[in-house]
Structure formats: C-alpha cells, structure tokens
Amino acid sequence: MSGGIPDPTAPLIPSGNLRRRQIFSKITEYAATAAAVLAVAVLALVVYTVVSRGAKAIDWEFITTSYPTGVAPMLVGTAIIVAIGTAIAMPLGVLIAIYLTEYAGSRGAGLLRTTLDLLNGIPSIILGLFVFKLLVYHKSQSGFAGSVALAIIELPLIARGTQEVLRLVPNSMREASEALGVARWRSVLTVVLPSALGGIITATVLAVARAAGETAPLILLSSIGPLDKVTVDPSEPLANVPVFIYKLSEEGNPEGFATGWGIALLLISFILFASLGARALLARSKRKLASS
Amino acid sequence: MTSGLDPSQGQNQPVPARIRIQGSGVAPPQNGAAAVVTGAAVAEQHGFAPDVVFDSQDTSIYYGAKRALAGVSLRIRRGQITALIGPSGCGKTTFLRSLNRMNDSVPGFRIEGQILYHGHDIYGSNVDQVEVRRRIGMVFQKPNPFPKSIFDNVAWAPRNLGLKKGLHDRVENALRGAALWDEVKDRLKDSALGLSGGQQQRLCIARAIAIEPDVLLLDEPASALDPIATGAIEDLMHSLKGRFTIVIVTHNMQQAARVADRTAFFSLAPVQGEEKPIGSLIEFDDTETIFSHPRDPRTRDYVTGRFG
Amino acid sequence: MSGSATPALAAARAGRSGSRRKKADRFGDRFLFGICLAAAVVAVVVLILIVYQVFDGARPAMSKYGLSFITDTEWQPNFKVFGAGVPLFGTVVSSFFALLLGAPIAISIGLFLSLLAPSAVRGIVSPLVEMLAAVPSVILGFWGLLILAPFVQSTIEPALHDTLGFIPIFGTPQTTGLSMFTASLILTIMIVPIIASISRDLFVAVPSDLQDGAAALGATRWEVVRGVVLPSTASGVVAASILGLGRALGEAIAVSQVIGAGTAIKPSVFLPADTLAARIALQFPGALGEMHQAALFYCGAILLVIGLVSNLTAQWIGRRFSYQGVAAK
C-alpha cells in the first residue's frame, strides 16, 4: 500500500498534493477576508454618504426650527415617543430578567425565553398592526400608540440583556446575604441589582438605539403629526424622525432629499454613538463582575 | 513504500503479504535489516541512514516574556520510544508540542536555539507547517475524536491527502494497528463519540497512524483513562514500536519504565539570568539507566518518589 | 470583631429585630415575586394578544377570500378584489435571494473574525460588523433609493444582463433601479451582520482540542474548517441563517423604499415587485375602507405565521445543537 511518507528526510516543503491543498486553503482565507472587508466597506460607504451629504444640511437653524427650515418637531417627537416606550419597557424588562434569574423554574424560564425570542423576532410592521388594532382603530393615531409598539420592541432586548448580566452576579453574593437571614427582596434590591446596574443601562441604551430608528410601526401609529410646529402631547400624533425620512424618500423631491440626509446624519450619529458607548460600558461592567 | 501498518500483532488475522512488514519483532524482518531497526526501512531504502530523527540544540521556548523551557539539547533516535517525564509545569509538554509546531498558534510563542528533524530546522523559514504535521503526528491528552462516524474519523486525513484508493483497507489496517478493529468492526458507521474513553483514545491513535507518519508524538495519552484502558494503550505502544519513532510525555513513571527505550527527565531548575526556576532537561539516558543508576540526584529523587 | 463583619452583622441583627420587620420582609418577598411574575405574564399575554389581534383584524378578509387569498394575484382596492399572491411571491423570492447571497458572506465573516483575524483586527472589525446591524432600516432604504438603486440600474443590471441574459431572471435593464434585485441587495446588507455575529460566536466556541486534533493530522486551515469547525456548528449556523431569513421576510421599510411596488409576478428580477411587509407599510396609512385594511391584516397574519414558524424552527434547531461533548466519558 502506498501513502506513507516517501522520504522522511526530504526538506519540509509541501509534498504530494499538499501544494494544491495549500493554495486552495489560501484562496478560502482570502475569500473570508474579502467578505469581512466587503461588510466594512458597505458600512463605510453608507456612513460616508450620510455624513458627507448630511453635514451640508445641518446647522443651528436646522436643529432648532420647524419644517421647512428645520426638523425640531421630529427630534422632539422621537425623543418623547422613545422616552415613553422606554419608560414602559425598562421596568418590565428588568422585572422579567429578575424573574428569569431569581425565581423561574427551568420550564417557566424556557417558556419565557421562547416568548421573548418570539417577541424579538416578530416583524415590527406586525407590531404596528397590533397596536393599531388595539389603540388606534376607530380612534386616532397618537404618539403614545407609537410608544407602546416601541416598548414591545425594546422589552425583549432589555430583558435578555439584563438577564445576561444578572447571571454573572456571583451566587456567593446572594448566598452571603441570605445566610445572614437577609430577606430575598432586600438582597435582590441591595446586592444583585446594584451590581448589575451597568448591564441594565447598557441593555436599555441598546434598546433605545434600536427603537429610535424603528419606522414601520410608527407609519401606522404616529405618521400625521404636525411638521411645522413642535408638539409634545403624546395623546396626539407626534412628528418623528424615521417616518419623516420615510416620507421624504417617497416624495422624490431633491430639496427633501437634502433635508433627509441631514436628519439621517443626526439619527445615525445618535444610534452609532449610543451603541458604541453601551458596548464599552458593558465590557467594563462585565470585567468588574468577573473580577469580583 | 510498502508500508508499515502491521495489524497482525497478537492476532491471527489473515493479512495480505504485501502489506506485511515488521511489527515489534513478530513479523519476519525484510530488507535484510534487523527487526529492531526496520522501522527505518523506508529511509534506508533511499540510502539515508542517519538514525537521529530529532536533534534539539539548546532549545528555549518563551510565551511572551515568560520563559517556559530553558536550553534543551537532546537527540531522539529512529524507531525508539522516547519518554519525557517530570513533574507538572516542567516544560515537557511544551517541548513535545514544539516538535510538530503545535505551539505556533499560542499567542506570544517564541523559540530560540533549533530543533532539527532529519537535519532540517523545523522552524526554518520555508518550512511548511502542514507538511511538518503530516510527517509528525500527535495524539493528545484528552481523547478528541471528531463528531463523525468511527470510519470517517480514520478516513478523514487519508482523504485529505488524496489517498482514496484502498481507503477501506487503510482504515481497517489503522484500526487493527490501534488494536481497536475487533471492537468496532460491526459499527464503523456509528458516531465515534459513543465509544468509551479508552476506545476513543485508541481511535485517535488509529487516526494518526492511518496516514503513516514518520513520528508519533503522544501527550500523556493515558492520563484520562482507567487502568485497563491504560494497559491497552501501553500494549499498543509496544506493537507500534519500530514502525514509528515515538515520543511520549507521561507523568506516570512506571509507564515510562515499561514502554520507553530512552527517558528524558525534565524538571524546574535555576537558570542563570532568571529569577524563577525554569523547565529544563535534567538527564537523558537509556530508560534502564535513568531508573536504576541515575547520575543526577534530582532524577534519583524523582524516580524513587522522594520528589516534592 | 473585625470591621468588615460589622455591616453583615448589622444586617443580620436587623433581620432578627422584631416581628414587624419580619412581616415587612414577608410582604416584600411576596411583592417582589408578584410583580416579577406579573411582568413575565405580561410578556406572554402580549405575544398571545398580538396573534389574536392580527388574526381578528384579518377576519373579514379571511371569511370573504378564504385560503385562495394566498394564491390570488389580483389586488385592486378600488374593486375590493384582494389576493396576496404577488407580494407573497416577492417576499419569498427576495428573502431567499438575500439568504443565498448573504449567508455565505456572513459565514465567511464569522470564520474570519473567529479563526483568521489577528486579535487587533478582530477588535476593530467585530464592532463594525455589529454597527452595520445597528443602521436603521429607513436610512439603509434611503441610501438604497438614492445611491444603490441608480448604481444598480447603470452598472450592475447591464453587466448581469450582458453576461447572464440568457437566463430569464436577468432581463433587460430598467430605468429606475427600483426592483426585486435592489431590494434583495438591501436585505442582504441587513441580514449579513446578524448571521455573521452569531456564526462568529459559534465558531469561537468550537473546542480548540478538536481543531488541534485535525491540524495534527496534517490538515490545512481550510480542511480544519471544512472537516471539523463547520460540521460541529452546522445546526447553529442553520439556525442563525433562519433567524436572518426571518428578519428579511419581515422587513417592511427598506424594502418598500427600493422594490418599486410592483403589481404582478415578473420573471426578471430587474422589474419592480412587492413584499407582504412592504405592501402593508405602503398601503395601510391610505387604506380604502375596512376590507382593504382587513386584506392588509391578512397579509400581516401570513407574515406573522411565517415569522413565528421560522423563529421557532431556529430556536428548536439551536437548542438541539450541542457538541455532545468530546470528553473521555
């Protein structure tokens, strides 16, 4: 039978079919590298376009006045809608995370995790339909309806993000306080939650970043807010950034496009800085927990 | 080459004559060479007769700033079993892994001195890592079968090498060579993960010898196994002896005494210019000498159990 | 008594001090458990309510058009004729095209980030890939409409038509670049970072002793990947791809900005098409009456079922996935 090494004392350069295999392997390595370069290039291209075209539109007036000279109503509207949505989702999400780590049995936790993953996977346009049916049907659009939809989007993100960090809180911390007869609720509130605070904030910031750019539900729920004056009443429809960009893209008017790039730059800067900052914070708080 | 997978060790399985060469002295020697050295038949056919496989010259190994091994010089001879023994953390595994460049992927790895393999610097500039490992196979401490069938575990590397002709015979021979054939011949398509630990480790050996390497490096191959499985691995090493040059790291001195021709004792020792003691080669000699008349008192303390 | 023990001791003493305290603790424990449980129940109820409300909204259309709604290709709100065949076709085609193009790229990126890239490069590229996932779909759609579509129209369409024009799907170039093809490209950009970051995590978790075992048999890097890394992560990668597919199926905004709102099934991918989600986004705000709304809810119900099924499938595959251990015993 052939196949042994013909000559073990030969120089250690590729023998047999190895040269061909090495070339193929190199090609796949280059291809994988090229794929990564491609993804980064697309990101760079999108960001570059938004920055280079958007920067021209942005000045103090653009941020502080109403349409058509500025976009203040949309910025304020988005801030209000996202703030209310977060105010709903954050406590719920944190409580769910506490339930998952501190109370749930394995079956309950499994069911809850499946639920959160399903919620996370539901297309956001469907959430728009749902909240429309629940709050808008036969009534009228409102900023609040938009907030409810965004809250459903944020909920699984905050719950899973918080749970990840709560899991890192060492059991010894819980046991130490329970061994001393401290009640569960006290140890959760005074020991577990504070040490996970960084993670909770991170999860919330990431959820806010995601919600701020979410467009689909708002088209159904808060798309007719006034553009020419700043309004703050969430029981009325509120102008907002994503729907505004969406409408500009539908209109096909070059001046509108210029405004669109400008406001897109504001939105994308907020989102990218928020997510980068949140990730840095998360890395820090995980390190802290790991070392404690 | 008419090769050296001799499955006939201790069994009366019919084996085609053309693939029968020496086992550990059971099969008749060919090529006119003595049974003990015919593991080197391949090279001798080609007119090479240097029986030094590895020549380590003042090899030091660093991980980042940390020196893991200091100035090791030793020669490993063809067809022999060489055991590396010593307490944990003494650099014996590090040394073993540097013989087929398995340390290359460790961050901060750096080597000084040189390791010659049949006269070629293993860390030379135009050396192909993959070629090195193809000639110098390795079996690890923890059995690591692939999550594939038993057959595919053994057939995987030959397929890569394009050795598709007679693949089934090759797999069978390798499994016989690893004394595993009788246990698995009826379930070659079953997952390898269903085997016992000892069987998995023998499968890993079969996997390594299926491509007929020149050298087999064994890194504490029996440390994760029970005594019976350990015994099976040791028997196996006896049967592989002569066909492959074997280097084995073990923390089990009896094992070294039972299987090895030559034994190297590694330990932590003070090294000039270093604050802490560094893994060093203390003594290298015939196994018999190391265990009965060691020259170095540290070796004597270790082999007589007075160490630590 | 050492200083460090004092707070613990104080807490312990506090725990023992009197029945009022104990009562408060009993109440506190129950209350915290109660609101946590309530929050968990809210999540489950919301999920059920979503399914119920969407189907309830679709009921008029369901009872009028039945299951033939799924295959009918006529959609004329003015005559109250509704069939979801065209957008359903567009949804399936655009998403699968995106998966076909995106999954190999994403898996390659995962391999690059986990096995090839030096750690410094990994530390930069990894967050960049995740930032691509963070770009809001409306901005990606805006960019697609104004930058990508004209480029597709002027460059990619003619090139593909000239070289592969004998295949009917690469028909004659059109004037706007708003098409199934451009929508698929945008979807590809959206799903690549999702699949890439999950696969990266999967590949990183492949035990290194398996990879060492393969390398020690004289395997090239590619052979290690092909022989060990990919097979032992296959189900996880499939699950990640299904998640990406689910994301593509449900994307409304970016798709509606670049797909051109086509009204018929066309063989060429360079022609406008439509998807279920995009049609809801485009038509719902100006829906002509209740039946039109109900038909859009029906589209939503179809989408919801596809979304839930694909998500559950991914979860099921992902959960079954494990290395089954490479341990000795």
Give per-residue pLDDT as tens, B175-210.
998 889 999 999 999 999 999 999 999 999 999 999
Mean pLDDT value across residues C205-218: 93
Count of domains forming chain A: 1
Q: How confident is the model at residue B46 (pLDDT cuts 50, 70, 90)?
A: very low
Per-residue pLDDT at C212 exceeds 70: yes
Chain B interface includes A28 (CB < 8 A): no
B1 and A2 in contact by Cβ < 8 A? yes
Token match 């193809």: residue?
B134
Q: Going by C-beta distance under 8 Å and a sequence separation of 6 or more, which residues neighbour residue B37?
A: B51, B78, B79, B242
Mean pLDDT value across residues C57-86: 92
Instruction: Identify which of B193, B197, B207 has the shortest CB distance to residue C217.
Output: B207
Q: Which residue has the higher pLDDT, A235 or B11?
A: A235
Q: Which residues of B touch C329 (CB under 8 A)?
A: 196-197
Residue A108, helix vs strand vs coil: helix
Share of chain C above pLDDT 70, in %: 91
Contact between B45 and B30 under an 8 Å Cβ cutoff? The reply is: no
Q: Going by C-beta distance under 8 Å and a sequence separation of 6 or more, which residues neighbour residue B115?
A: B54, B55, B56, B57, B59, B98, B99, B121, B122, B123
Which one of 3.80.10.10, 3.40.50.300, 3.40.50.450, 1.10.3720.10 gives the CATH number of domain C72-321? 1.10.3720.10
Closest by Cα among B307, B306, B302 to B85: B302
Mean pLDDT value across residues C93-114: 97
Residue B179, helix vs strand vs coil: coil
Q: Which residues of B touch A9 (CB under 8 A)?
A: 43, 46, 48, 50, 118-119
Which regions in chain A score pLDDT beneath 70? Answer: 1-4, 292
C196 and A99 in contact by Cβ < 8 A? no
Q: How confident is the model at residue C326 (pLDDT cuts 50, 70, 90)?
A: very low
Whether residue A68 is preceded by a cis peptide bond, meaning omega within 30 degrees of 0, is yes
At B104 the pLDDT is 87
Greatest Cα pair distance, chain A, in angstroms, is 87
At A292 the pLDDT is 64
Chain A interface includes B21 (CB < 8 A): no
Per-residue pLDDT at B49 exceeds 80: no
Kindly state whether residue A246 falls inside one of the protein's structural domains.
yes
At A176 the pLDDT is 82
Kindly state whether residue A22 falls inside one of the protein's structural domains.
no
ipTM of this complex: 0.92
The residues in A 236-275 lying below 8 A from C, measured between CB atoms, are 242, 245-246, 248-250, 257, 260-261, 264, 267-268, 271-272, 275
Chain B interface includes A18 (CB < 8 A): yes
At B225 the pLDDT is 82
C308 and A246 in contact by Cβ < 8 A? no
Chain A interface includes B298 (CB < 8 A): no
Q: Using CA of residue C46, residue C48, residue C51, residue C54, what is the dihedral sign?
A: negative
Disruptive mutation site among B130, B149, B202 for chain C (greatest number of C CBs within 10 Å): B130
**Which of A213-217, B73-77, B223-227 is predicted least confidently?**
B223-227
Token match 């997510």: residue?
A275
The CATH number that applies at residue A139 is: 1.10.3720.10
B42 and A5 in contact by Cβ < 8 A? yes
Whole-angstrom distance, CA of residue B111 vs CA of residue B123: 8
Residue B264, both tokens = 């190297």
Q: How far is A58 from chain C (nearest CA, A)?
A: 16
Chain C interface includes B294 (CB < 8 A): no
At B223 the pLDDT is 84
Contact between A169 and A192 under an 8 Å Cβ cutoff? The reply is: yes
Kindly state whether residue A219 falls inside one of the protein's structural domains.
yes
B160 and C223 in contact by Cβ < 8 A? yes
Residue C230, both tokens = 């990919």
pTM, to two decimals: 0.87
At B26 the pLDDT is 38
- Across A45-49, B235-239, C233-237, which has the greatest mean pLDDT? A45-49
Kindly state whether residue A268 falls inside one of the protein's structural domains.
yes
Per-residue pLDDT at B10 exceeds 60: no
Kindly state whether residue A242 falls inside one of the protein's structural domains.
yes
Q: How far is C92 from chain A (nearest CA, A)?
A: 15
Q: How confident is the model at residue C10 (pLDDT cuts 50, 70, 90)?
A: low
Whole-angstrom distance, CA of residue B33 vs CA of residue B173: 23
Whole-angstrom distance, CA of residue A263 vs CA of residue A72: 10
Residue B248, both tokens = 């084995």
Q: Which residues of C touch A57 (CB under 8 A)?
A: none
Q: How confident is the model at residue C11 (pLDDT cuts 50, 70, 90)?
A: low
CB pairs under 8 A between B and C: 87
* Subunits with 3+ C-beta pairs closer than 8 A to A: B, C
At C320 the pLDDT is 74
Within 13 Å of residue C131, how many CA atoms lie on the same side as its CB?
27
Residue B263, both tokens = 């034994």
Instruction: State which residue of chain B sits closest to A22, comparing Cα positions.
Output: B130
Q: Which residues of B touch A24 (CB under 8 A)?
A: none
**Which residue range(s) make up the domain with A202?**
60-291
Instruction: Identify which of A21, A98, A115 has the shortest CB distance to residue C36.
Output: A98
**Domain boundaries of chain C, sorted by first residue:** 2-63, 72-321
Contact between B222 and B199 under an 8 Å Cβ cutoff? The reply is: no
Task: Give the DSSP letter of residue C148.
Answer: I
Kindly state whether residue A9 falls inside one of the protein's structural domains.
no
Whole-angstrom distance, CA of residue C83 vs CA of residue C71: 7
Chain C interface includes A183 (CB < 8 A): yes
B156 and C217 in contact by Cβ < 8 A? yes
Per-residue pLDDT at C171 exceeds 90: no
Per-residue pLDDT at C15 exceeds 80: no
CB pairs under 8 A between A and B: 81
